[in-house]
Structure 1
Amino acid sequence: MGVLTNVFLVFVLFCVCMCVSQQADVYRLQPKYPAADNDEEGSKASFVSRDTNRIGRRLQAHQTAIFSLKGNVVPYGLYYVTMLVGNPSKPYFLDVDSGSELTWIQCDAPCISCAKGPHPLYKLKKGSLVPSKDPLCAAVQAGSGHYHNHKEASQRCDYDVAYADHGYSEGFLVRDSVRALLTNKTVLTANSVFGCGYNQRESLPVSDARTDGILGLGSGMASLPSQWAKQGLIKNVIGHCIFGAGRDGGYMFFGDDLVSTSAMTWVPMLGRPSIKHYYVGAAQMNFGNKPLDKDGDGKKLGGIIFDSGSTYTYFTNQAYGAFLSVVKENLSGKQLEQDSSDSFLSLCWRRKEGFRSVAEAAAYFKPLTLKFRSTKTKQMEIFPEGYLVVNKKGNVCLGILNGTAIGIVDTNVLGDISFQGQLVVYDNEKNQIGWARSDCQEISKL
Structure 2
Amino acid sequence: MLLHLLALYATFQGCYSDVNPLTAAKTPTHCNPSSTILFRVTGNIYPDGYHYLKVDLGDPPIPYLFDFDTGSHFTWIQCDAPCQKCLPAPNPPYIPVSRKLVGCRHPICDEIRYPKDHVCESPNEPCTYYIRYADGGSSLGVVINDPFPLTYTNGTLIKPEISFGCGYHQKHPDPANRPHVDGILGLGSGKESILSQLRELGLVKSVVGHCFSKQGDGYLFLGDEFVPSRAVWTPIITTNEFARRYFLGVAELYVGLYTTGIRNLRVVFDNAATHTYFASEAYATLVSTITKDIKEKKLEEVNDDDLPLCWKGPQPFESIEDVIHKFRPISLSFLENPQYTLFEMYPEAYLIVKHGIVCLGILDSVLLQAPTVTLIGAISFQDKLIIYDNENQKIGWTTANCNDPPQSQCHSILKN
Bin of the TM-score, shorter chain as denominator length: 0.7 to 0.9
Q: Rg: which structure is higher?
A: 1
Separation in 1, partners of 2:179, 2:290: 35
Q: Which of 206, 230, 234 lines up with 1:263 in the alignment?
A: 230
User: Within 2, Cα distance between the matches of 1:195 and 1:444?
Assistant: 31
Q: In the alignment, which residue of structure 2 is the partner of 1:96? A: 68
Are the counterparts in 2 of residues 234 and 255 from structure 1 also a CA contact under 8 Å? Answer: yes
Q: Which residue pairs with 1:109 in the alignment? A: 81
What are the residue-to-residue correspondences of 1:26-175 with 2, within 5 Å? 60=33, 62-125=34-97, 127-141=99-113, 146-148=116-118, 154-175=124-145
Matched letter for residue 398 of structure 2:
A
Unpaired runs of at least 5, structure 2: 1-24
Instruction: Please report the TM-score for the alignment, with normalisation by the length of structure 2.
Output: 0.86
* Mapped partners of 1:69, 1:217: distance in 2: 15
Shift of 1:127: 3.8
Which residue does 2:20 correspond to in 1? none
**Once the two structures are superposed, what CA deviation does each residue of 1:379-431 show, in whole Å capped at 9, x if it has no partner?**
11111110000112x11000000111221222111111000000000001001
Residue 17 of structure 1 corresponds to which residue in structure 2?
A: none
3-state secondary structure, aligned to 1:326: helix
Task: Tell me the TM-score normalised to structure 1 length.
Answer: 0.80
Question: Which of 242, 248, 251 is 1:280 aligned to?
Answer: 248
Identity fraction in percent:
35
Aligned length: 380
Once residues 137 and 283 of structure 2 are traced to their aligned partners in structure 1, the CA distance between those partners, rounded to angstroms, is: 24
Could you say what the CA RMSD is over the residues aligned between the two structures, in angstroms?
A: 2.4
- Alignment equivalent of 1:358, drawn from 295, 320, 324: 320
Given candidates 392, 396, 399, the residue that maps to 1:430 is 392
- Structure 1: which amino acid aligns with 2:286? F
Helix, strand or coil: the match of 2:148? strand
Contact 1:369 1:380 (C-alpha < 8 Å) held by counterparts: yes
**Cα distance 1:207–1:123, how it changes in 2: closer, same or farther (>3 A)?**
farther
Higher helix share: 1
| Separation of aligned partners in 2, 1:203 and 1:225 | 29
Aligned to 1:226: 196
> Which amino acid in 2 is paired with 1:191?
E
Q: 1:420 aligns with which of 371, 376, 382?
A: 382
Tell which deviates more after alignment, 365-374 or 401-410: 401-410
| Mapped partners of 1:382, 1:154: distance in 2 | 51
Q: Give every structure 1 segment of 4 or more consecutive aligned residues whose post-TM-superposition deviation is greater than 4 Å.
A: 149-153, 206-209
- Which of residues 247, 267, 270 is equivalent to 1:307? 270
Aligned residue for 2:11?
none
Q: What is the rounded CA distance, in whole Å, between the counterparts of 1:406 and 1:277 in structure 2?
A: 15
How far did 1:252 drift? 0.2
User: Hey, what's the Cα distance between the residues in 1 that align with 2:177 and 2:94?
Assistant: 18
1:72·1:78 contact (CA, 8 Å) conserved in 2? yes
Instruction: Identify if the C-alpha distance between structure 1 residues 281 and 419 changes in structure 2 by more than 3 Å, giving closer, same or farther.
Output: same
Q: Name the amino acid aligned to 1:304.
A: V
- 1:102–1:194 CA contact under 8 A, matched in 2: yes
Structure-2 residue corresponding to 1:210: 180
Larger RCO, structure (CA 8 Å, separation 6 or more): 2
Asked whether 1:240 is paired with 2:207, we answer no
Q: How far is 1:110 from its partner?
A: 2.1
Structure 1 gap ranges (5+): 1-51
Q: Which residue of 1 aligns with 2:281?
A: 318
Equivalent of residue 251 in structure 1, options 219, 235, 254: 219
Measure how far apart 1:293 and its partner are. Answer: 2.3
Matched, 1:396 2:358: yes
- Tell me the secondary structure at the aligned position of residue 101 of structure 2: coil
Measured after TM superposition, the shift of residue 154 of structure 1 is 2.5
